[in-house]
Amino acid sequence: MWWVYLLIGLIAVALALLAYWQFVIAEGAYLGARIVALLYDWAAPAYERIKRFDNEDEQWFLGLPLARALEPVANPLVLDVGTGTGRLPRALLFQPAFGGRVIGVDLSRRMLARAVEMTRPYAEKLTLIWQDAQALPFPDETFDAVTCLEMLEFTPNPRAVLEELVRVLRPGGVLLLTNRVGPDARWLPGKAWPRDEFMALLQSLPLESIRIRSWQIDYNLAWAIKSGPPRGGGVRPLPHILRCPFCGHSPLPVEGGAYACAGCGRAYPIARDGVIEMARPVQRTQAQTASGE
């Protein structure tokens, strides 16, 4: 009967290795966006302590170069996808040269709650939205810069998300994103690319002036410009920027404490902490009740 115990042991080891791959290395990426969001919800209270971001590096390598790239644009509008606890908004809004506005999108609601706490000094210049990156709730060519840091590899279809990032970027706008290349990247098939394949992927999109360099050991950091005559600048009112992720209708006026879609009747509540909850739409009457009308 020894072989039965051996077989059970081998199965247990295999299951443990599978679980480690799925939940630690891939962070749920092969199990769907909701699992990834759930894992980040659990990690949110300790996330900043785990990551140990270096504020000086964040300012020097992210905030300052992005602010300088946007200097020619009057009142630039920036989108940070996978904003988490507001890492990129903090680095950018700290820059005296940046006079625009930032919108942060994430599917982890608890990470956004932490972002609210950590970005209070910049609350007037920052909007946080609970929504999936696979369906960005904005019309084409809305932003002067789009950023996506250390998140692309945890989406169900990284190339489709990348296409979404480019879609909402204005011609002449700046794209800033990362690609996983560290030792664990080999265990993320279809979600991370060798440097030459990553460059080829970016070149297949309407992008130019593409530059890639190493970033924090485990990543490539890419800068690119969307092709076409530059035509950016100006921060439009948020109702004019938002687009219903279900039916594509825009604009979405504020009614009863929510952004209301006249196309499909859904309403996207503004939570007490200010986060726009597009990942959990309600009916118009529910939005009115939640706001106390």
In a structure prediction context, what are the per-residue pLDDT tens digits for the chain, which is 293 residues long?
Answer: 766 666 666 677 666 666 665 667 777 778 888 888 888 889 889 888 877 887 777 888 899 999 999 999 989 999 999 999 999 999 999 999 898 999 999 999 999 999 999 999 999 999 999 999 999 999 999 999 999 999 999 998 999 999 999 999 999 999 999 999 988 888 888 889 999 999 999 999 999 999 999 988 889 999 999 999 887 666 678 999 999 999 999 999 999 899 999 999 999 999 999 999 999 999 766 544 444 44
Torsion angle of alpha carbons 156, 171, 206, 188, nearest 10°?
A: -30
83 plus 148 within the same structural domain: yes
Nearest Cα neighbor of 238 from 121, 137, 109, 97 is 137
What pLDDT shows up at residue 165?
A: 98
Give me the CATH number covering residue 264: 2.20.25
Strands 77-81 and 101-106: parallel
Is 100 in the same domain as 214?
A: yes
Per the structure, the complete domain to which residue 270 belongs is given by 238-291
Both 204 and 163 in one domain: the answer is: yes
pLDDT of residue 243: 94
Give the model's pLDDT for residue 2. 67
- 11 and 61 share a domain? no
Name residue 80's beta-bridge partners.
104, 147
| Residue 94 placed within a domain | yes
Q: Please check whether residues 119 and 257 belong to one and the same domain.
A: no
What pLDDT, on a 0 to 100 scale, did the predictor assign at position 292?
41
Predicted confidence at residue 293, as pLDDT, reads 44
Q: 97, exposed or middle or buried, with CB in 10 Å at 0-12, 13-18, 19+?
A: exposed
Q: For the chain, what is the domain count?
A: 3
The reply to whether 94 and 179 lie within a common domain is yes
Helices 109-118 + 33-43 axis angle, to 10? 40
Residue 209, Cβ density class (10 Å: 0-12 exposed, 13-18 middle, ≥19 buried)? exposed
120 and 258 both lie in a single domain: no
Round to whole Å and give the CA distance between 122 and 104: 12
Q: Are residues 146 and 219 in the same domain?
A: yes
Cα separation, 177 vs 14, in Å, equals 34
Of 154, 288, 170, nearest to 232 by C-alpha is 170
| Residue 126 is assigned to a structural domain of this protein | yes
Within this chain, do residues 255 and 115 fall inside the same structural domain, yes or no?
no
Is residue 17 domain-shared with residue 158, that is, in the same domain?
A: no
- CATH classification at residue 82: 3.40.50.150
Q: What is the pLDDT, as a whole number, of residue 49?
A: 83
Instruction: State whether 115 and 180 are in the same domain.
Output: yes
